[in-house]
Amino acid sequence: MSLRLAGYAALFDRVDRGGDIVRRGAFQRTLGEAARPLPLLWQHRPDRRIGSVTLAEEDRRGLRVIAALDDAADEALAALKSGAVRGLSFGYRVRRALGTAPRELFDLDLVEVSLVSVPMMPGARVHMLR
């Protein structure tokens, strides 16, 4: 049986390490169009798919995700179980944004979710393993 994780890949209304602020509703269009599960990647590497996002939804706090890791994702499984890696992040394309420093993100194409060592958004992390 594969390991499942839950957490937040993005938090709303906070400046991330890159100077961006994701606003509530930024993922709504993409989530409404999603016809297939999003890939769960290791450290944003497209050649390191470690599972699939089985649920992605916006709530009041941010982009909440539940994902299932593949049984073959040995490095990620070990890092999660030991607590060495707990960060979450997401890959995206900007559809609509305003400003600079900080840039407010209002509409994004969500491409993937990644398990990462250091998330761009402090606080974006795995909260539960099962």
At position 89, the amino acid (one-letter code) is S
Task: Return the biggest CA–CA distance within the chain.
Answer: 46
**Radius of gyration in angstroms for the set of CA atoms belonging to the chain, rounded to a whole number:** 14
CATH number for the domain running over 4-129: 3.20.16.10
Round to whole Å and give the CA distance between 120 and 130.
25
Q: DSSP alpha helices (H): ranges in the chain?
A: 28-33, 74-82
CB count, 10 Å around CB of 22?
A: 27
Return the pLDDT at 71. Answer: 85
- CA pair distance 84, 101, nearest whole angstrom: 31
Q: What percent of the chain has pLDDT over 70?
A: 98
Report how far Cα 116 is from the mean position of its chain's Cα atoms. 9
Mean predicted confidence (pLDDT) in 25-39? 87
Over residues 52-64, the pLDDT tens digits come to: 999 999 999 999 9
**Per-residue pLDDT reduced to its tens digit, 64-89:** 999 999 988 889 989 998 999 999 99
Cα(91)–Cα(111) distance, integer angstroms: 5
Asked whether the beta carbons of 47 and 93 are under 8 A apart, the reply is: no
**Confidence tier at 34 by pLDDT (50, 70, 90):** low
- 34 secondary structure, DSSP code: -
Quote the pLDDT of residue 35: 65
